[in-house]
Structure 1
Amino acid sequence: MSDFERYYQRIRSQQKRANLLWSLLLVTLWLSAGQLAEFDLLTIWQSLPQFFDYILQTLPVLHLPLLFADGKTAGSLAYWGYRLPVQLPLIWETLQLAIASTLIAVVVAAVLAFFAAGNTQTPASVRLAIRSLVAFLRTMPELAWAVMFVMAFGIGAVPGFLALALHAIGSLTKLFYEAIESASDKPVRGLAACGASKLQRMRFAFWPQVKPLFLSYSFMRLEINFRSSTILGLVGAGGIGQELMTNIKLDRHDQVSITLLLIVLVVSLLDTFSGWLRRRVVEGAG
């Protein structure tokens, strides 16, 4: 056996031992966490039939000969969607919440990120203060923010907007300043040698490098905010989630299914559109 083969076998043995140890550690952590949280796979397995029974209850009863009858005929599509005049405006409100909160968050996070980055010559105290603030904002989940704002401002779209915007600012600022810190410093040094100001270095050295990442993260956050806004409605923060919770509480099973279908359709369309827009803006694709 050659020296290379012996070296290769030794490295392979070390990798196998390391993989085995990490696997055992992860399994131990998973079992310990499950025991502390009273997580039981057997209980989930035994409860699955009840879950599927509820799903079956939410499915509408449609009859093919009556499919396109009027809204007063049971078994028709119109009868199933009799609450669409209420649900469609709520879907639009949910989308508006996502767009408005994302736009505000992107602007604020972009400004904060340049002051929080370690390679923009920002004073350490300012950098630490901004990083601590955004860490707190993203540590608090949107649902917790929404509950507090509902208590303060009442039920409506304002609590949902504030909750989404604050959490998005915390998440996007971290992503943005990490993107700035990963940018090349060669253009910065070149502009500094020419006597460019700090603002000019940010504008002409950092921004062209990080712009594609900023846009990608912004589009991704828009998709996340729409999904989150449907959840926030469950606590009275506006949007289609409020309608979903009402239907569940009132046992309007058929309306639960059509509300979920609307959410899935809009999320799919939003994903498709944001992906196309991302390619157009970031990659310059047609």
Structure 2
Amino acid sequence: MKRPSAAAVRNTPQEGRFLIATALDAVVANGEASFQQARRQRRAATIGAVVVLAFCLVLSGWVSEVSPGALLAGIPRAGEYFVRIAPHLEWQHLFSNWETEGSLAAWFYRADKWLLLLFETAQMAALATLMGLVVALLLCFPASRNLQRGVLSFQFTRRLLEATRTVPEIVYALIFVWAFGIGALAGILAIALHSSGALGKQFYEVVENAEMGPWEGVRSAGGTWAQACRFAILPQVLPNFISYALLRFEVNVRSASVIGFVGAGGIGEELYHVISFNYYDEISAIIVLVILAVCSIDLVSERLRRRVIEGAA
């Protein structure tokens, strides 16, 4: 066997390094080309999405007859209305009695009645939230994909929840006012019906993310479907359920303030009355009270949610 020459032996390491460097350069070049190609594709997709979105916005504005001219013409009128409802307060009479023009007491001269109506509105929202919570709690388990009892039951429950949350509360309120008459009952039923669908969706999405180990354990031990829901799933998802219910209560307070416009009780009915007769000072006073009430409820609910979540952790 012929031995390689000394020169060949000396050149072999250099040739190896050259080949490795060439291979690395080729890999880097291929990677850079792939990256640039993917980048161009992402840019093209982004541009296409922006174009489609812009077209949809223009089409929506054209169909709904919204134009920049109409917006520019309406903004000054909206500003004029806010100027009209602004209270005429005077610093020298700010803390005088209710008979003195320019005082806070004169601005809120019907505060006793308005506070009672706000309390009624909060009670409407609380009762409606509780009723919606019960219905959503009963329907969220059969509506969960991972706990299906059957395709028919699953599809029926989901479609029912979709139907109840699709219709706005004010539409339900109009129907119930016609059925039960003017008053808080119509508002409570309207908000409860819509809340059951909204909470039901949130609840079954939480259930679908629950751990299935406890469920399988209860079922393998001979537990029924309802027992597995009660003892395996509910303890896992209960903190989330409470958090969503408190959030829904905040939303329902606002809803209860609006559906009063159709005679469904609460502060909304009084607000509609003063708006109809252009009692500008009373409009702003009621709006301020509603804002303060909603902010207070939001703060209390936020603290309760944090305690529930921290307690569960």
| Fold conserved between structures, TM > 0.5 | yes
Does structure 1 conserve the Cα–Cα contact (< 8 Å) formed by 2:243 and 2:308? Answer: no
1:7 paired residue number: 34
Does the residue aligned with 1:53 lie in a helix, a strand or coil?
helix
Retained in 2: the 8 A contact 1:176–1:214?
Answer: yes
Greater displacement, 108-117 / 93-102: 108-117
Q: Confirm or deny that 1:80 pairs with 2:107.
A: yes
Choose which of 138, 143, 147 in structure 1 pairs with 2:174: 147
Q: 1:228 aligns with which of 255, 268, 292?
A: 255
1:36 aligned to 60, 63, 73, which one? 63
How do 1:152-191 and structure 2 match up within 5 A?
152-191=179-218
Number of equivalenced pairs: 285
Q: Does 1:58 align with 2:85?
A: yes
Asked if the contact 1:215/1:282 (under 8 Å) is kept, the reply is no
Residue 176 of structure 2 contacts residue 186 of structure 2 at CA under 8 Å; is this kept in 1? yes
Give the alignment of 1:240-259 within 5 angstroms: 240-259=267-286
The runs of at least 4 aligned residues of structure 1 exceeding 6 Å deviation read none
Deviation at 1:123, TM superposition (A): 2.3
How far apart in 2 are the matches of 1:144 and 1:273? 30
Which residue, out of 291, 297, 312, partners 1:264?
Answer: 291
- SS of the residue 1:237 aligns to: coil
Per-residue CA deviations over 1:177-222 (Å, capped at 9, x if unaligned) read 1221222222222333333332332122211221122112111111
Q: 1:91 and 1:243 mapped to 2: Cα distance?
A: 10
Asked if 1:97 is matched to 2:86, the reply is no
CA contact (8 A) 2:143 2:154 kept: yes
2:143 and 2:155 in contact (8 A); partners too: yes
Amino acid paired to 2:272: M
Consecutive unaligned residues of structure 1, counting only runs of 5 or more, are: none
Opposite residue 216 of structure 1, the aligned amino acid is S
Amino acid at match of 1:263: V
- 8 A Cα contact 2:148 2:154, kept in partner: no
Shift of 1:100: 0.5
Contact 1:235/1:242, CA 8 A, preserved across alignment: yes
- 1:279 maps to a residue whose letter is R
How does the TM-score come out when normalised to structure 1?
A: 0.96
Q: Name which of structure 1's ranges 270-279 and 147-156 shifts more when overlaid on structure 2.
A: 147-156
Distance 1:277 1:105 in 2: 19
Q: In structure 2, what is the Cα distance between the partners aligned to 1:91 and 1:160?
A: 14
Once the two structures are superposed, residues 215-272 of structure 1 have per-residue CA deviations (whole angstroms, 9 ceiling, x without a partner) of 1211111111111111101111111111111111111101110111011111111111
1:96 aligned partner, one-letter code = Q
SS, match of residue 237 in structure 2: helix
Which amino acid counterpart does residue 191 of structure 2 have in structure 1? L
Q: How far apart, CA to CA, are the structure 1 residues paired with 2:272 and 2:226? A: 49
Once the two structures are superposed, what CA deviation does each residue of 1:32-71 show, in whole Å capped at 9, x if it has no partner? 1111111112111111111111101111111111111111
Structure 2 residue identity aligned to 1:13? R
Partner of 2:154: 127
Q: In structure 2, which of residues 158, 165, 180 is the aligned counterpart of residue 138 of structure 1?
A: 165
SS in structure 1 of the partner of residue 98 of structure 2 = coil
For 2:31 and 2:302, locate their aligned partners in 1 and report how far apart those are by CA, in whole Å.
Answer: 47
Q: Is the 8 A contact 1:116 1:122 kept in 2?
A: no
1 or 2 for the larger relative contact order (CA 8 Å, sep ≥6)? Answer: 1
TM-score by length of 2: 0.88
AA of the residue aligned to 1:107: V
- Give, in angstroms, the shift of residue 5 of structure 1: 2.2
Q: Gapped runs of 5+ residues in structure 2?
A: 1-27
Q: Which amino acid aligns with 2:288?
A: L
The DSSP-based 3-state class of the residue aligned with 1:251 is coil
Query: Is 1:282 paired with 2:309?
Result: yes
2:232 maps to amino acid: A
Q: Secondary structure at the match of 1:248?
A: helix
